[in-house]
Amino acid sequence: MSRAAALPQRRIAAASGRHGGVFPPARVLLILSLAVLGALLVAAMSGSAGLSPRVLLGEWPTPLAWKVWWQLRLPRLLLAALVGAMLAGSGAAMQGLFRNPLADPTLLGLASGAGLAVALWIVLLDGAAGSYGLYGQFLAGFLGALGVCVLVFALGQRQQGQEALFTLLLAGLAINTLAGAMGGVMAFIASDEQLRQLSLWGMGSLSHALWSATLGALIGIPPALWWLLRCARGLDLLQLGELTAHAAGLDAPRLKRRVVLATALGVGLCVALAGIIGFLGLLVPHCLRLWLGPGHRLLLPASMLGGALLLIVADTLARTLASPAEIPVGLLTSLLGGPYFLWLLLKRRVPC
């Protein structure tokens, strides 16, 4: 092995080995997996359609209760886990790809681009879509997120260092503003039924999760997650700079295409299915990076598990805090992520 290839590998191994000095990687993932299972169990037994705690003692539910739980609660739990894992995992991957900790699908406009595409589909095309309306939303969300991701990535490549950070944030701000304005136009011309659908969907909600939607997520999101996990080593090498990563044998353009496509596919599906759920892609990877270190071989799967955990808990609270009414889960995640983002800005403030 050449010295050029050996040096970045030693540096990446050292970076990947910083887990916060508390738990080894296997134990971290085990703890997060058990936490997700525990959250799923609590969510399954909460609310009006929840199973009785006596199920844990071997008492089988009534046929009606089981049917309601199977048709309403189980697909919602699975969708919450998949969407949370995808948003947080894509946030961790985007931060590694752009090499800046403020990159996430929401701030960079991916969610807004996917949301605008879905809004165009709902208002302009859904009336003629027939039984293919749901799958049209999938395709519209994917294409919207892909277009925004390619645009922002191209703009960011034109700058280096701190200027790249400002370029990314300004591009995300411009895309979010434009998508919001176009979404307002769609709301203006929408019918009353379409307007209500757009309003509830724009706040982020899993209340309409049925097997038809969850099956689409089960088909599309796991491949995107697996694709991102396979990019972990390349993202670690990319942190050393493209020249050094190339010397270590990394095909940087191929890695970027894979991350862009996987993120666009996953985020597009999430937005099409659950609406705009903000700050998961920023909050979860940031917290776990402080605890586990920068190595993506651990950070990516931990972020996916952490995102699933957070969205399951948030959705459970959304269903139960104002019962029998339901709070849009996107509002809860924004209430949590907004203050955290402000704290990050204050923490990183540089005196004039």
The verdict on residue 220 lying in a domain is yes
Q: For residue 285, which amino acid is it?
A: P
Higher pLDDT, 113 or 128: 113
The verdict on residue 39 lying in a domain is no
Exposure class string for 21-50: b at 16+ Cβ within 10 A, else e: eeeebeebbeebeebbeebbeebbbbbebb
Please check the confidence at residue 107 and state whether its pLDDT lies above 80. Answer: no
Please check the confidence at residue 302 and state whether its pLDDT lies above 90. Answer: yes
Average pLDDT over residues 84-93: 94
Q: For residue 186, what is the domain's CATH number?
A: 1.10.3470.10
Residue with tokens 């191209």: 154
The verdict on residue 317 lying in a domain is yes
The verdict on residue 171 lying in a domain is yes
239 burial level (CB within 10 Å; 0-12, 13-18, 19+): middle
Report pLDDT for 223: 94
Mean pLDDT computed over every residue of the chain: 80
Range of lowest pLDDT (216-225, 253-262, 295-304): 253-262
Q: Which domain holds residue 258?
A: 97-347
Angle at 222 between CA 221 and CA 224, to 5 degrees: 65
Distance CA 315, CA 243 (A): 44
The verdict on residue 160 lying in a domain is yes
The verdict on residue 77 lying in a domain is no
Report pLDDT for 62: 72
Indicate the pLDDT class of residue 5, thresholds 50, 70 and 90: very low
Query: What is the domain count for the chain?
Result: 1
Report pLDDT for 77: 92
Give percent of the chain with pLDDT exceeding 70: 82
How many residues would you count in the chain? 352
Average pLDDT over residues 96-114: 80
List Cβ<8 Å contacts ≥24 apart for 316-319.
316/39, 316/42, 316/43, 316/46, 316/47, 318/205, 319/46, 319/47
The verdict on residue 283 lying in a domain is yes
The verdict on residue 152 lying in a domain is yes
Task: Supply the Cα-derived Rg of the chain in whole angstroms.
Answer: 21
